[in-house]
Structures are given as structure tokens and as C-alpha cells.
Amino acid sequence: MPKLSCRPLTFLLTGFAWLLLSSLIGLAVLIGLVQGTPLPSWLRLVHVHGALVGGVAQMIMGAMLAFIPPLLMTGQKRPDSHPILFTVMNGGALGMLLGFGFQRFAVVAAAGLFILGAFLSVAGDAWRQTRRSLNSPPLNLLFYGLALFALFAGLAVGLGMAFRLIDLSWYSHARLVHLHLNLLGFVTLTIIGTMHNLLPTILQQSLYSPRLARTVFFVLPVGIAVLIAGFATASLKVEILAGILLMIGAGLYAFNIFSTWRTSGHPGNAASDHLLVATFFLLLAMATGVLVGINSLWEVPLYPFGTLHLVAYTHLALVGFILQTIMGALSHLVPVTLAVSRVPSHKKRGPYLATLTSIIDRWRMVHVGLMSFGTLGLVLVATLTWTTPLSSLTVQAATWVTFGLLLAALTLFSTKLAWALGTRPPE
């Protein structure tokens, strides 16, 4: 049996396991918030950093390890296993969560240094591959370069907060800078850079407009830079301007992606369904962010904006965009990677790949629907609280329905992954 240990697929699956556990913690935090018995604040930090560091960041590392050598055509003699990176990444994520749990921020900072070191190693290796490659760096790699730069800046701010190097009067601004550099600068740019190649591969169709992709490459980073400047200077008007720029960039990107799908004539599968729905939620999250900023222009906001509204807004991006994208990527990469690793012969690989793909595609509309309506359920719960007490039967029922939809979606997808992993090729 081929060993998967410490290969890119291992990073992807381990990252998804982190995401799954963190999501369960997040659902418990949501129930506690609505029931009026909030869980300890440190548990929210564990939920967020478990999902983003142990989950999303680790999966991005696995994707970079898998995608960068083929893009540069430098992977012929490279090792396919990375045990040190895997150990450092997961050890750093675990140390960070323990630091938050025991309120030891020096431990959080030390763990962050390990994460920083792991990604510096990946960036340095990518730079060396770029210099050796006969190909000019493709657009995907340029997105990755900007994303890593944003990650290093975001981690630097996070380390400054953990080591108490940042003045307390600027702490709330630093937290926003740290969060958005990591989510928008690192995660979103990485996903968009990957999607310009991944969705066309799934659909077996060329990207609709490479020129639009290059335009997005310039517009989105400018929007992110303006947003960070707005947070740093506490200028709401600058933040709204940045939001508009980001909406333009996301709109151009979405038009390119949907046009690629529309012109492909491909019937679609679980992977493309998740990726297209994720693109819709990216647009929705960007538009909501601009509305949140406009709502705050008045001294007394037109609509009250509390913790539950913040949860709904952020999870349009975290669940609707990021988690749906991850599920789409895994729906494509897991069958392909298993087929390549378990069936050496290209001619004999087809039937096994078809079997794995059919497993992942089972109940695809049900699963995409559960994820989508579960995400929108968070928005519904938050919206209801503007006119209905939190303790009302309506809000409580909507919360439990949302909980059930998201839990069912996570369970169904995990079951399909386990089924595919346990399905061996015929002798």
C-alpha cells in the first residue's frame, strides 16, 4: 500500500480534520451564544485559530507543495514527502491552541514563530524552483507570492500582539489588520490564484479570459492594501472605499469563473458545484462588508450590529466561501491523487478514478444545499434578532435548524471522503 504520510494529500486531509473538529467547537459556541450561556472566550480563539491555522493554512501549504513544482516543471527529482514541514505545522498549530487555552500568550507567539518558519521554508523553496525553472512564473504563482507576503505581514502583527509589543490603544486596530491580512491577503488570494487553474481543469475548458485574471491580480491587492490602511488609520471612509475596490475585483473574478463554466458545456460535478457556489458567497461576503461599513457611518448605526451579526457576516466568508472552496478542491484532488498513487498504469487508472469520482459525486446537490442553506441560516438567525428576542421560539428554532444543516453537511462530506479513501482498486 503506498504511504500517504507527509505527502501533499496528507496535509490536505489532516487540515480538513482540523477544520472538522474546529467546526464542531464553533457550532457549540453558536448554541451557547443563542441560548444565553456563552462558552469561555478562549474557546472562540481555539475555534478560529484551529480552523485557520491547523485547517486552512495547512491545506494551503499542501496545495502549494502539490501545485508549485508542476507549474514550474521542476518536480522530477523532488521529494514527495515532507515530514519536517508536517510536524512543524501541526506542532505549531497545537501549541497555539494550548497557549490560548491556558492563556499563555508567550506560547502562542512561540508557536506562531514555528508556523512562520514553515511557510518561510516553502517560500524559499518556491523561489529556488522559480530561479531554476525554464518557464516564466505563471499567474497562479504570482498570486501565491502576494499571498505569502500578506501571510508574513499578518503573522508579524499577530506575533507583536502575542509578545505585547503593540500599544494597547492600537490593539483593536492591530487585530483587524492581523485578521484581514491573513483572511483576505493570504487565504483569499491563494484560493483565487488556484481557482484560475483548478476550475478550468475540472471543467476541461480554458479560462474564459486570462486578461480579466491579470486585472484581478492588480485590483484585489490594491483593495487589500487600502483596507489595511483604513484599519491602521481608523478611517471608516477609507475602509468603505477599499470594500468597493474589493467588490470590483471579486466581481471581475466571479464573471471570469462563471463564464468559464457557462462556455464549457460540462455537466458539472461535486467539485465544480462547490467551487461555483463558493464564488457566489465570496461576492455576498464582499457586498455585506461594504454594507456593514456604511451602516457604521452614522453615530448611532441604522441597524444594531452585535456579536451574532458579526458571526453571520464573517461566516459568509469562512463557511460559504472558504469551506465550500475546500470541499470543492478535495472533491477533485482526493480521487485524482488516490488514483495516481494506487494505480501506476495510466491505461488502467480510468475505471478506478471513475469509481472514486462517483463516490464523491453521490448526493452532490444535497450536500451543496446543506452547506449553502446552513450558511444562510446563520444570516437568518442574526437578521431575526433585529425584530425578535433572542430567547424567542423562532430564533431558537432557526438556530437549531442551522446547526442541523451544517452538522449534516460536515458528516456527509466526511463520510464520502472516508468511503473514497477506503475503496481500493480491483486486483
Q: For the segment 47-94, what is each residue's pLDDT rounded down to a tens digit?
A: 999 999 999 999 999 998 888 887 777 666 677 789 999 999 999 999
Distance CA 22, CA 48 (A): 7
Question: Is 137's pLDDT higher than 90?
Answer: no
Average pLDDT over residues 330-353: 91
262/265 Cα distance (integer angstroms): 7
What are the phi and psi torsion angles at 179 (to 5°)? -65, -45
Task: Give domain status of residue 172, yes or no.
Answer: no
Cα–Cα distance, 7 to 3 (Å, whole number): 8
Instruction: Give burial (CB, 10 Å; 0-12/13-18/19+) of 131.
Output: exposed
Mind listing the pLDDT tens digit for each residue in 206-258?
Answer: 999 999 999 999 999 999 999 999 999 989 999 999 999 999 999 999 999 99
Q: Is the pLDDT of residue 119 over 80?
A: yes
Are residues 132 and 276 both part of a single domain?
Answer: no
The verdict on residue 114 lying in a domain is: yes
Q: Is residue 63, in this structure, part of any structural domain at all?
A: yes
Which alpha helices (H) appear in 73-104, and where do they start and end? 83-101
Structural domain tally of the chain?
2
Q: What is the pTM of this model?
A: 0.94
Question: Which whole number is the average pLDDT over 341-350?
Answer: 87
- Please report which confidence band the pLDDT of residue 134 belongs to, taking 50, 70 and 90 as the band edges: low
Last residue of a domain, one of 104, 137, 170: 137
> Does any domain span residue 258?
no
Three-point CA angle 80, 324, 212, nearest 5°: 85
Per-residue pLDDT, averaged over 17-30, amounts to 95
pLDDT at 80: 79
Whether residue 243 is contained in a domain is answered as: no
Task: State mean pLDDT over 370-397.
Answer: 95
* Residue 79: per-residue pLDDT: 75
Q: Which residue has 452538522 as its cell numbers?
A: 407
Compute the average pLDDT of residues 190-197: 93
Last residue of a domain, one of 105, 137, 169: 137
Average pLDDT over residues 287-299: 92
Q: Mean pLDDT in the chain?
A: 92
Nearest of 349, 363, 371, 372 to residue 416 by alpha carbon:
363
Q: With 60 as the cut, is the pLDDT of residue 297 above it?
A: yes
Which domain covers residue 108, as residue numbers? Answer: 1-137
The count of other CB atoms within 10 Å of the CB of residue 70 is: 10
The answer to whether residue 157 is domain-embedded is: no
Residue 261 lies in a domain: no
Residue 130 confidence (pLDDT)? 81
Whole-angstrom Cα distance, residue 223 to residue 228? 9
- Residue 347 has a pLDDT of 82
The three cell numbers of residue 296 are 457604521
In a domain, residue 391? The reply is yes
Question: What per-residue confidence (pLDDT) applies to 164?
Answer: 83
Q: Is the pLDDT of residue 26 over 90?
A: yes
**CA-angle at 245, arms to 240 and 250, nearest 5°:** 120
pLDDT value, residue 67: 84
Domain boundary residue, one of 118, 137, 156: 137
- What local confidence, expressed as pLDDT, does residue 383 receive? 95
What pLDDT does 76 receive? 61
| Residue showing cell 500578506 | 150
Residue 2 — very low, low, confident or very high, per pLDDT cuts 50/70/90?
Answer: very low
pLDDT at 9 over 70: yes
Q: What pLDDT is attached to residue 5? A: 59
DSSP helix/strand/coil, 6? coil
Phi-psi region of 73 (alpha: psi -120 to 50; beta: other; left: phi over 0): left
Count CB atoms within 10 A of the CB of residue 364: 18
pLDDT for 316 equals 96
